[in-house]
A and B are shown apart, each in its own frame.
Chain A
């Protein structure tokens, strides 16, 4: 787990997106953390189950396992009565639902069904000779009924069928769920948001990239929002 900023004051826990998107935006997330530290805001960037340096295999994880990992990463600060805020990038917004947070800030949140469509298209692209079925494409029909369903390999990630099923119904936190929530999106994304900002979708790039200008702009937004929440 990476830590940035002071030992006192509000703490921001950052949730990276799931799967390959995590690699594409990790450097960008670190740039946001550094910019927040320069503004006096502390952050942690945990490796959640199945991500980064985690010893837990992704293929063993449901979405609740990963969300539970985010909760565990924040528990120490919560128990120390530190004010705690969640910052999530893309499908990271699916992972902050179990944690006790004083507020949630989401950048370009992606819901589960959209991510599942993305994964299916990638899987289909990797095996164009096989037409995937509409809904149960990630189950292997050859698996005996009394055997667990094997994980599905998609672009180097072995993903459990339980996690894929979770995605089909899972959505990010909403205002109706309670507590402060701020949503920021790119100008190119017309979905409702508290703010739209200029920048390119780093998670669509073939190679990991960074955008320091956007990272600083978002750090300003996060720091201002936390200051408002703390009043």
Chain B
């Protein structure tokens, strides 16, 4: 079940990054746990982060509190998946 949750979250985050940042299908598919995000992906600036988080909330039915937003959760694709997994498990 946990594996299914991770797969669903992984797929949703991949498609959200693709749609919000305008990534190509191949770039979205190539994201792996170690792919760096904030600070390394030019499309993901501070403004884009705002829209990305709201879109993630809508697509996964979660609420991300402001004090939970930090550089660590957006450090890599894997870190973002792990962060969202902790929110959906509650």
Contacts and interface: CB of A to CB of B under 8 A. Distances in A.
Given A121-B54, A201-B19, A206 B59 contact: no
Contacts of A117: 54, 57
Interface in A115-137: 117-118, 120-122, 124-126, 128, 132, 134
A125 B19 contact: no
B80 interface: no
Contacts of A54: none
Contacts, number: 54
B46 to A, nearest CB: 3
B22 A205 contact: yes
B54 A206 contact: no
Interface string B55-75: 101111100001001000000
A188 interface: yes
B46 A125 contact: yes
> Is chain A's interface secondary structure helix, strand, loop, or mixed overall?
loop
Nearest to B52: A204
Interface residues of B, number: 23
Contact of B61 (A134, A191, A204, A205): A191
Interface in B23-60: 45-51, 53-55, 57-60
Contact of A114 (B48, B50, B54, B66): B54
A29 B49 CA distance: 26
B58 A206 contact: no
Contacts of A205: 22
Given A118-B51, A191-B61, A201-B55, A206 B46 contact: no
B66 A188 contact: no
A121 B49 CA distance: 8
Contact of B54 (A118, A128, A155, A200): A118
Contacts of B66: 120-121, 124, 132, 134
15 contacts: A114-B54, A118-B51, A120-B66, A121-B53, A121-B66, A122-B50, A125-B46, A126-B47, A188-B19, A190-B59, A191-B58, A200-B19, A201-B55, A204-B20, A206-B22
Interface of B: 12, 15-16, 19-20, 22, 45-51, 53-55, 57-61, 66, 69
Given A188-B16, A191-B61, A200-B19, 15 more contacts: A114-B57, A114-B58, A118-B51, A120-B66, A121-B69, A122-B47, A125-B45, A125-B50, A126-B46, A188-B15, A189-B58, A201-B20, A204-B55, A205-B22, A206-B22
